[in-house]
């Protein structure tokens, strides 16, 4: 039986955990990361080739400061890893029902002097003729936003973390966590890990690892699809990442990159599943394709060609869709990171840094009180 000790142990080395492991190791903290799979992998929330990076948020703090810090850190990661991770195509947010749903984004842009451009329906159709929009539609282009490559990001963080001295144990399923007043003991099948401090960032797996707290988390199955397009009008780099909002429904998507098809997903909806269950593949539900094609037929009919590929992923969702980032209510040397609700990946770099600060220093430089546990009724 192997025994291992570190200053900091991280359970869950997907996106947030891997980034935090790198930033901890970079500052000289002896760090061990454990993951039930071998990241980057397809069993959680981080796969799928692309994620949107944007920075205008209705809830300005702490999201906008986190997004701006994330941009700086994504650029640093690209330089340190010699890898292209963020393609700044811009991200176009379209309000189908008119400009009212854009006001919060415009307010954030004014408050933080963010780089945005406002477009009328006519201006959208002139610049991006692939859209078909109603008369009242308007849009905002976040000009410094773009498209992240999640697998490349995690692989880069993994490589650099190892170079900084972090140790990663893939295919390590946690069987038990014992909390002590001055540390933790974590038992896997044939290995024991001890540490002074612990970060739990296991995505949907948090519902199993933290059962005693009864965190208000739902695990949702989400479907995304890649569709063939007519002509070149939906191709990168001329077509941006996009968000289309109608009422309370948000669709998000990505240009056709290298002929792979236009990718689109729906942020709301989906099917609730239990962590550990076999996730039904794309096409198991009629709405998997129907929901996506309905949006395409309505607003981008020339991108509603044949389905080239379908995929599923998991959202771990809180009731208010804000994250959970806080110290364990009973053990201040344990930090919890959960419930990233399908919009967390853009912040992986800045939250990885902030989580490292919380574990090592007890608090982060950016105020993240919005994410505290005490907004819910938590068992302790």
Q: Is 180 a catalytic residue?
A: no
Catalytic residue among 54, 197, 267, 343: 267
Q: Is 51 a catalytic residue?
A: yes
Contact 31, 166 (CB under 8 A): yes
Residue 358 vs residues 138, 177, 178, 309, 374: alpha-carbon distances, Å: 40, 20, 21, 40, 17
Catalytic residue among 263, 322, 328, 343: 263
Catalytic residue among 31, 50, 207, 229: 50
φ, ψ (nearest 5 deg) of residue 225: -140, 155
**SS3 for 243-294, per residue?**
EEEECCEEEEEECECCCCCEEEEECCCCEEECCCCCCCCCCCCHHHHHHHHH
Beta strand pairing call for 241-246 and 249-254 = antiparallel
Q: In whole angstroms, what is the distance from residue 260 CA to residue 308 CA? A: 8
Q: Is 50 a catalytic residue?
A: yes
Q: In whole angstroms, what is the distance from residue 14 CA to residue 33 CA? A: 10
Catalytic residue among 313, 316, 322, 343: 313
Catalytic residue among 26, 31, 46, 51: 51
Catalytic residue among 46, 47, 158, 197: 47
Q: Is 346 a catalytic residue?
A: yes
Q: Is 379 a catalytic residue?
A: no
Active-site positions read 47, 50-51, 263, 267, 313, 346
């Amino acid at each position: 039986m192997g025994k291992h000790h570190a200053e900091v142990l991280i359970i869950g080395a997907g996106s947030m955990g891997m980034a935090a492991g790198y930033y901890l190791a970079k500052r000289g903290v002896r760090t061990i990361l454990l993951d039930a799979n071998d990241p980057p992998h397809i069993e959680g929330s981080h796969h799928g080739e692309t994620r949107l990076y944007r920075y205008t948020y209705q809830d300005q703090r702490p999201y906008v400061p986190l997004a701006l810090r994330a941009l700086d850190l994504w650029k640093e990661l690209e330089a340190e890893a010699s890898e292209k991770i963020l393609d700044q195509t811009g991200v176009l947010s379209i309000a189908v029902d008119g400009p009212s749903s854009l006001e919060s984004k415009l307010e954030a842009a004014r408050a933080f002097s963010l780089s945005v451009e406002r477009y009328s329906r006519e201006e959208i159709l002139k610049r991006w003729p692939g859209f078909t929009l109603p008369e009242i539609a308007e849009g905002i282009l976040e000009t410094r936003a773009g498209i992240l490559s999640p697998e490349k990001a995690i692989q880069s963080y993994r490589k650099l973390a190892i170079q900084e001295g972090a140790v990663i144990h893939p295919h390590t399923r946690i069987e038990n966590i014992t909390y002590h007043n001055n540390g933790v003991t974590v038992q896997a099948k044939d290995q024991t890990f001890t540490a002074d401090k612990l970060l739990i960032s296991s995505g949907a797996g948090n519902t199993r690892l933290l059962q005693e707290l009864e965190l208000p988390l739902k695990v949702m199955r989400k479907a995304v699809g890649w569709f063939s397009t007519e002509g070149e009008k939906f191709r990168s780099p001329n077509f941006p990442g996009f968000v289309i909002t109608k009422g309370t429904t948000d669709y998000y998507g990505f240009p056709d990159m290298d002929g792979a098809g236009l990718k689109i997903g729906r942020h709301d909806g989906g099917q609730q599943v239990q962590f550990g269950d076999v996730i039904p593949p794309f096409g198991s539900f009629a709405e998997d394709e129907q929901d996506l094609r309905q949006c395409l037929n309505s607003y981008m009919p020339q991108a509603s060609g044949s389905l080239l590929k379908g995929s599923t992923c998991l959202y771990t969702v809180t009731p208010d869709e804000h994250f959970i980032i806080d110290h364990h209510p009973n053990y201040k040397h344990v930090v919890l990171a959960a419930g990233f609700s399908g919009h967390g990946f853009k912040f992986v770099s800045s939250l990885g840094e902030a989580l490292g600060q919380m574990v090592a220093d007890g608090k982060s430089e950016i105020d993240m009180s919005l994410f505290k546990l005490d907004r819910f009724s938590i068992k302790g």
